[in-house]
Structure 1
């Protein structure tokens, strides 16, 4: 069951972790490459801030972004800013998102995200949590997939396996983590089934495009390349 209030609290905690860690950077290190190809750490911080604004738009019934081009331009514009400005922007935009989430609302309503994707409003706080947690890892400042809260990892695997379910390029997949929890996904291709096992951190890293799956074991077929998120 989705608990948007619990997820809003988790977003607040995750944002504080990120801000505390990022405060140890300096202007030079903010300009250095992140773990995301083509993006500096400044790009990642700018994206985190602009994503908060975008999800406020979603909750208030406006388009998430004016356009894909405007989204990218805003991130490129904000990426070179000094550390103190970046942190203030992340903090202030996060506070606006929290305040919007704290208002009385119909959380069962359907909202529209990017590219025509729709979802229940109650899932928006978890979507924000994904952005904060994974992009904290992307900063490359000591927060790793293994540091992600266990409940978040389980739910993110739930989220991503649901997203890839039935995808035409993927065989049937059964994923099993090191605690014996299993998920099924794929199934749109004719080959398979493929059994994929490994640590939960490596499973979520592979599904989220943060790891290549080298630490995972595949039986019944090769580990497939996942389509872009």
Structure 2
């Protein structure tokens, strides 16, 4: 069962790690490329702040973003700011999200995210945790997938395996980190492909952060995953 209060605490801890890492940067490092194609570190930080506000909107029953164009414009306009402005925005937007998450609410209700996607309100804190952890890695400041909490890696693998489950473009696939196993892709009597690797490598491949060359694949080629 999803524990939204536990996940909110994990978001708080992950945000503190992020803020400490960002505080160690300088203005000259912000326009440098992040690990996300076409985005500087400033773009990643601007996105993280606006995502906190967007998920607060979701919890409050408002549209996540005014529009896709507005979302992109806010990221582009916020990216060139100096370090102090980014840090203040990250702190303040994180505090607003936490306040929304701590308000009395029906956590079993269904909420709407982007592009018509719906989910349980109780999963929104985990979605924010994903944003903070993966984009911290995307900054390329020394925080790697291997540094992510064990619980996070297991749950993110579970979440992404479920996301690709039933996809006609992904062959029936068994995932394993040697301790846990998941099934994803097209329905089949038995998985056609087995993909094995460390928790960090599995998440890296599933989340589009690594190419999967460090994974062991049997029963066929490494499946090509749809974009997230």
TM-score, length-scaled by structure 2: 0.98
In the alignment, the residues of structure 1 paired with residue 101 and residue 189 of structure 2 have an alpha-carbon distance, to the nearest angstrom, of 43
Deviations 1:148-172 (A, max 9, x none): 0000000000100000001010100
Aligned to 1:217: 216
Contact 2:32 2:40 in 1 (8 A): yes
| Aligned twin of 2:88 | 88
Query: Does 2:132 align with 1:137?
Result: no
Rounded Cα–Cα distance in structure 2 between residues aligned with 1:17 and 1:56: 21
> Could you tell me whether the CA contact under 8 Å between 1:169 and 1:188 is conserved in 2?
no
**Counterpart of 2:35?**
35
Shift of 1:35: 0.2
Q: Is 2:197–2:216's contact at 8 Å kept on the other side of the alignment? A: yes
| Pair 77,191 (structure 1): closer, same or farther in 2 beyond 3 Å | farther
SS at 2:173 equivalent: strand
Decide whether aligned partners of structure 1 residues 175 and 25 sit closer, same or farther in structure 2, where only a CA change above 3 A counts: same
Aligned equivalent of 2:194: 195
* 1:152-199 deviation per Cα after TM superposition (whole angstroms, max 9, x unaligned): 000000100000001010100001104x21010001599961011111
Q: Verify the 8 A CA contact 2:183 2:191 in the aligned structure 1.
A: no
CA distances 1:180-228 after superposition (whole Å, capped 9, x unpaired): 2101000159996101111110000000000000000111000011100
Q: How does 1:14-163 map to 2 (within 5 A)?
A: 14-163=14-163
The answer to whether the Cα contact below 8 Å between 1:168 and 1:189 also exists between their aligned partners in 2 is: no
Q: Which runs of 5+ in 1 are unaligned?
A: none
Verify the 8 A CA contact 1:206 1:212 in the aligned structure 2. yes
What SS does the aligned partner of 1:213 have? Answer: coil
CA contact (8 A) 2:174 2:191 kept: no
Aligned residues: 228
User: 3-state DSSP class of the match of 1:115?
Assistant: helix
- Residue ranges of structure 2 left out of the alignment (5+ in a row): none
The superposition leaves residues 6-31 of structure 1 with CA deviations (integer Å, 9 ceiling, x where unpaired) of 00000000000000011110001011
- Aligned residue for 2:34, secondary structure, equals coil
Given that 1:177 and 1:198 are in contact with CA atoms closer than 8 Å, whether structure 2 keeps it comes out as: yes
For 1:71 and 1:106, the matched residues in 2 are separated by 27
Q: Deviation digits for residues 78-110 of structure 1, max 9, x if unmatched?
A: 000001100110000000000010010000000
User: Would the alpha carbon gap of residues 191 and 6 (structure 1) be closer, same or farther in structure 2, given more than 3 Å must change?
Assistant: closer
Segments of 4+ moved more than 6 angstroms = none
Length-normalised TM-score, structure 1: 0.97
